[in-house]
Each structure stands twice: as structure tokens, then as C-alpha cells.
Amino acid sequence: MLFIGILLVCAGCRKNPYDQKISAANQEELNRWLSFNTHRLSVREIEEINNSMREIRISFMLQDAKKSKSNETLNRLLCEKINGLPLKEMVVMGYELQIGRYEVERLRLVGDLHHKNKLKTRPGDLDSERFLREQKEMVSEQIGTFDSRIERCKTRIKELCEKFAMPDPATDYTPPERISTGES
């Protein structure tokens, strides 16, 4: 009976999955690692992990958008990038990459709005004036949406860093380097 009690206590002493280093020599190993280490996490946490991996894949796709990359290639690149990282660092990396992607899109929209603000309609052309005003409002709303998304990501990074005693992103955190595919 004492032996069973010790086993139960030891079973509860496993390290936090977020502190575990990801084992991802290949996609199968990553899947096994995730299955073994994430069973104690909530659905939201698992979704967050999957979203982070998706962002890393997207970053590889965006590096050379003219070159198509197969799922196999993207999975290999993902595994190479995250193999050996603590799970918490991979999740934060996903948010950092997401912020970068949102900031690029936001800047594109700001440029679009700047261009639209320079446009003039013919005097008395109320339809064109209304259309241009609606376009400006739509772009302004989209910029606001990206501002909100960026802020949510930054807030979540700060929460994760506090939760896992990681460096504060506003002061000490260095965003991940631009991910290189190693391909030209």
C-alpha cells in the first residue's frame, strides 16, 4: 500500500509540460512528445501550442512566398526549429511571429489609408465621395483590428513570461531571429 502511495505521489511530481524540452527530431517524434506531454493541459493551452506551431510554419511559408513548400518540408523545418526548445519558449515564439505578421499587414493598411487620404473626388460626385469615405472607414477599422490583435498577443506574452518566470518581453525579451529555411 505504501508503494502505491509513493507511486501516486511521484506521478504527480512530473515537471510542468511547459518546462519540458520539445523532442522533435522528426514529425513522428514531435507527435509522440506532444501526446505524452500535453495530456494534462487544457483545451485552450493545446490550442495555443498548435497555433504557435502554425505560426512557425507560416513564417517559413512567408520567407519565400514564390517558392512553394510541401507539408513535409514545412514539418521538417518546424521540427528543426523547435527541437530542444522548452515548450514555453516555442509558445512565446509563436506569439512573437504572429505579432510580426500582424505588424506587416498593419503597415500595408496604413500605407493604403495614406494613399486613400490623398485621393480626391470630383466636385458634386456624391457616390464617389461616399465610396471613398466608406473605403477609408473600412481600412481604419482593419487597422484597429490589427492593433487589437497585436495588443492581445503582447498581453499574452507578458502573461506567459510572468507565469513561467521568463524575461519580461518589454525589457529583456529578444524576439526570435528571422527564421531561415536554409534554402535559397
> Per residue in 142-163, pLDDT tens?
999 999 999 999 999 999 999 9
Task: Provide the pLDDT confidence category of residue 17 given band limits of 50, 70 and 90.
Answer: confident
**Given this model, what pLDDT does residue 170 score?**
55
Q: 170 lies in a domain?
A: no
Q: 8 lies in a domain?
A: no
d(CA 40, CA 15): 11
Burial 24-33 (b: 16+ CB within 10 A, else e): beeeeebeeb
Give the residue, 26 or 184, on which the prediction is more confident.
26
Task: Provide the pLDDT confidence category of residue 15 given band limits of 50, 70 and 90.
Answer: confident
Task: Provide the pLDDT confidence category of residue 68 given band limits of 50, 70 and 90.
Answer: confident
d(CA 87, CA 89): 5
Residue 177 clears pLDDT 60, i.e. is over it = no
Q: 172 lies in a domain?
A: no
Residue 36 clears pLDDT 70, i.e. is over it = yes
Percent of the chain whose predicted confidence (pLDDT) is above 70:
83
Q: 111 lies in a domain?
A: yes
Q: 1 lies in a domain?
A: no
Mean pLDDT over 72-78 rounds to 93
Q: 7 lies in a domain?
A: no
Give the domain extent around 124: 16-163
Task: Provide the pLDDT confidence category of residue 38 given band limits of 50, 70 and 90.
Answer: confident
Average pLDDT along the chain: 85
Write out pLDDT tens, residues 88-141. Answer: 999 999 999 999 999 999 999 999 999 999 999 999 999 999 999 999 999 999
Cell of residue 19, nine digits = 518546462
Q: 101 lies in a domain?
A: yes
Q: State how many domains the chain has.
A: 1
